[in-house]
Structure 1
């Protein structure tokens, strides 16, 4: 009986030590840029505008089918409005690319790097990461949902943290109905 107990303890010990030194493989899944979409929406006192922006590159990292990381680079030169046409579309698109907003000549990309990922539901994860826009990096937290080879997320971004103060009520008085709200939304539908 003592030998059986000793053998069981030894086998359990060996199994525990083996499991401790077993590396769990991480799998990096590239984002399919042409099948993925990022939509932005900005708000002002008198309404809103929305449009799209292209992903330059991106990936999600999994460990045993659990999300553990990711990073994205956004091509800021592709920012455009989808709610306007003609002359007004051209003016807004040009203004968004100017130094008043995203300054794409000097800052052609923005990036998002996942720092910590925590499961928060059956298919949901809370992500803490670093968002870089116009060369300024700030922490951001958001929820991402994964279903098969698709992911969806929505981020609220305070543009003033990235030096984008144009017509912000936080920095300028007497804007009245010309004010543009500090926060804008990014909604991403991703395929990998």
Structure 2
């Protein structure tokens, strides 16, 4: 009986000293997606942009980190086709907007993560677009091997001011909203 207690006590001590290691899960870039919506006074445009790579870090089945790289050269409008799509895609990739010749990627790095509810986190991350860093905050829902979020980005914080009523007057119906919407679906 004394040996059993000694063994049990040894097991408790051993298990309490085991450290829980983080688990890194890479995203499947082919199955993960980013959809965007940009609005203006007279309507909106929507499209997609692809991930180059990314990962989420878990510890004790909770999100504790994440880092993602987006291929800005893959940006395309999906609400147009033909010549109009080519023109919009070209303008979005030009220096007026995202300047993809100089800034081919954008990055997002989780900086602060708080549990909001079971499998729901409030994340504050550094978003880098056109070499400029600004924080964004969003809710991230995790279920199994996937995660989703929707949030808005103020493009003017990244020196993207084209058509912004915040910087230019007399734009009338040519004004473009400062914020664009992102809907992100991660598969890992």
Q: Considering the TM-score relative to the shorter chain, is it more than 0.5?
A: yes
Q: Which residue of 2 aligns with 1:54?
A: 50
Q: Which residue of 2 aligns with 1:42?
A: 38
TM-score (norm. length: structure 1): 0.90
- Verify: 1:120 aligned to 2:112, yes or no: no
Q: Which residue of 2 aligns with 1:63?
A: 59
1:80-99 matched pairs, under 5 angstroms: 80-99=76-95
Deviation at 1:107, TM superposition (A): 0.2
Deviation at 1:28, TM superposition (A): 0.3
Q: Which residue of 1 aligns with 2:181?
A: 185
| Partner Cα distance (2:144, 2:71) in 1 | 26
Deviation at 1:22, TM superposition (A): 3.6
1:139-158 matched pairs, under 5 angstroms: 139-158=135-154
| Partner Cα distance (2:75, 2:28) in 1 | 19
Q: Matched residue of 2:164: which SS?
A: coil
Structure 1 residue ranges without an equivalent (≥5) = 1-6
TM-score (norm. length: structure 2): 0.91
Q: Which residue of 1 aligns with 2:156?
A: 160
1:166-177 matched pairs, under 5 angstroms: 166-177=162-173
Alignment length, in residue pairs?
Answer: 179
Q: Which residue of 1 aligns with 2:19?
A: 23
| Partner Cα distance (2:29, 2:130) in 1 | 22
Deviation at 1:43, TM superposition (A): 0.4
Of residues 124, 129, 133, the one that matches 1:133 is: 129
Structure 2 residue ranges without an equivalent (≥5) = none
